[in-house]
A = this chain, B = another copy of it.
Amino acid sequence: MEKKIGIADTTFARADMGGLAERTLLAEVEKAGYKIKIERYTVPGIKDLAIACKKLFKEKNCDLVMALGMVGRAEIDRQCALVASLIIRQVEIEICKHILEVFVHEEEAKNDKELAKIMHNRTVKHCSNALWLLFDQETLRKRAGTGRRQGFEDEPFFEI
């Protein structure tokens, strides 16, 4: 069954996370034999992503949306991320379809090279999450509690 994935991204981010997500998703579904369509919606900043998500669901009929953005270093930016995240999640539960929040905070990296690496890794790994949520939830379940990370290496896990 074909699914439609929305990609909401920003002009604020310092790298084209949306474009990378688009290419990654298309490459992955070709390998896996899934069928998807992609809709893009670019807005100025992360606080505009929630409305972009809602429009992608309501006007473009998406089944899942990836909301990609970068958060600056200032303390004001952390508060922006809080607002952005809360409202994105309100759209998600209102619509009852997944939104994968792919936010990278500048303060996670020591320099631009590291920042680029985190943005790449997090975006690519969340593309896998998106496809698993839509086409293969069993894989997610097998990975439950296994310390998976997006943006960094996975962490060790243990028995309880």
Contact = CB atoms under 8 A, between A and B. Distances in A.
Nearest to A94: B93
The contact size tier of chain A is 35 or more
B51 A13 contact: no
A62 interface: no
Copies in the complex: 5
A159 B93 contact: no
Interface string A90-105: 1111101111110001
Interface in A49-64: 50-51, 54-55, 58
Contacts of A91: 93
Contacts of A86: 83, 86-87, 89
Contacts of A48: 98, 100
A148 B14 CA distance: 8
Which 3 pairs across A and B sit closest by C-beta, in order of nearness? A16-B145, A11-B148, A87-B89
Interface of A: 9-20, 40-44, 47-48, 50-51, 54-55, 58, 76, 78-83, 85-87, 89-94, 96-101, 105, 108, 112, 116, 119-120, 123, 126, 129, 133, 137, 140-141, 143-150, 155-160
